[in-house]
Structure 1
């Protein structure tokens, strides 16, 4: 046999063996998944840590989504200001959550109303033994990005007329004190947790908290110049960049898988992996339902479909399912998300009637849909009750709104929180920060 034929024959034999090996391996290593419950504690710690880190950076990416959405929905003379505020929010939120936020929220709450003050101390290199079931630094990171999200909600509502530095002072207080205190009541093992209140990923603890703070700010600030006429008319103020707002919404939608999926807080078993996957499905379908129902309602009521309302419909569906994304069936998730969309269509014109100027629609999306999502948890979760859910919604709402209102009034008295009419007309990009987003069009 020639050398070429020998090579061909050898290659054929190796190929036959290669094709046979997978079958032999499958035959010899069949796993009975019906009896497989998990992995070793060390492996579970690694997977749990990976969950926190991956889902955490997805939630961090929501900061980009908020920035794009807000920059797209404000007028071009205020776009740079919104970008600056969103970068500052994330930076301040990170610092404050380390400085005192995490300990206020999680350390020494013990069924009470508040944790402890002081910076969080991380283990040194090689000192984290995994006894918590995950890296403690990964948990801190995951919880921190939630904190920053809360402040982003406020930014959009009070846009186009608020001064930079009073807003940043409020952000310090919100991320370092207010959000951690109400978070401790549930996620830190505080009094609401003892009562049986349930908010899986933060429809109330994140979104409604941000919404209540935003509502207080809007009331103290007042509406933008020219938004409402003396005869009760409403003057639309279209955003500068709808494509940017659409992109921002999709980024938020993507980040929400980390927001809700990571709140499972574990990936060390087959059951956890299945639950995270179901959370992804319910989260996505609720957003789809919110967007579609808004499209249908707008066509019926106004004969036109406003893209910005559809964007908020999707976000309202996401907020609505956030309080309980695991237990609903698909029809239940669709129902919960669709009602979030209905809320947007109903509340946006209601705010205009009340002359409450919410530039990006954060109040209907985050506050109102957050209340709805938290209230409806007992529909699919037998371990909760409507009474307990209402107590939690009211307690967190009253505390956040009243304290935020007081802080806004104090800032107004000490620093002034609104730019002058001349500066507002000129635009905050030029008047406040000196960098215009679209100088060639100004």
Structure 2
């Protein structure tokens, strides 16, 4: 069948097929463009002149995910883009926004005008009923946000990168629709991260420092959480309060954590008067494990001599709903294997246990699966535990000790 002939109007390029689309589709298309490119569409045709004002998304500050790749003249310094952004927001008024992404570079952290300007842009986005807000500082240090909480009935997703979060800003109780919160590469200097509205379900905190200046434990009080990720934090370990709806959680503790005892090779000496095991301003309560005790799926990983998991085990928290558990070699210390024994004993409905017995790296080379023999299993082993996986780089002396310990409970392994 021969191709259809193009009309003279088509051949002349006179038909604006994209411009013929409904306004709603064009607004959605514009939301994927950087703000400067979206503004430049006004020269395409008369119909495009005002479309940008009602675009459902704003991406201010460029496209690159990593500021390192930006040329010097492309870095969106606050002082260079403020006139453009002020004019852009003024023209928009308070048209509703589905998404707003704000990236900026600030050379002068003591510049009060720049700080006020950025915080004003954030408040304007919230006033525009934004649903998904991303605030990303791409400077060498962190950028301090103001100390006022966000108030929104529309915000559902919030992502914060390389910021200094203090006091009341981390009170999200006035964001009644907020479901997803992500904080990365930031300083968290507030006493509490809270959401009493019952909406926040997913919380991810990675590469952040807690209480670095004030030397206290930040309390995470979000009882509605379903998913928690706490990765590679620095300074004081945050205290997790009750999370009865928690389904899955991943906690990774690295060498930046200040919770370790210099008086003990294992990282915890246990003496009540030890200033390392019980720092100043510490209320000596269970820090992590009690708040995680109602999770169904847990991954607990430590890559240093931190004591926080070992100290928490003193309170013998019971994981009454826990089905799957992943632990690393930090939990498998010979000869007593106290930490591993304790958490197994207090996980009555555990079905699957995975042990990662390898050091830092992308993966493992050896994987072994364990099964129980015909004999009755010991009381220390949960009666529902049917799957035991051991992953390692090689079967060295330390791995052999772990296998010997597990085999004492009538477990047999196959490669």
TM over 0.5: no
The structure, 1 or 2, with the larger RCO (C-alpha pairs under 8 Å, 6+ apart) is 1
Which structure would you say has the larger Rg?
A: 2
Name the one with the larger strand percent. Answer: 2
| TM-score bracket for this pair, using the shorter chain length | under 0.3
So what's the TM-score if we normalise by structure 1?
0.20
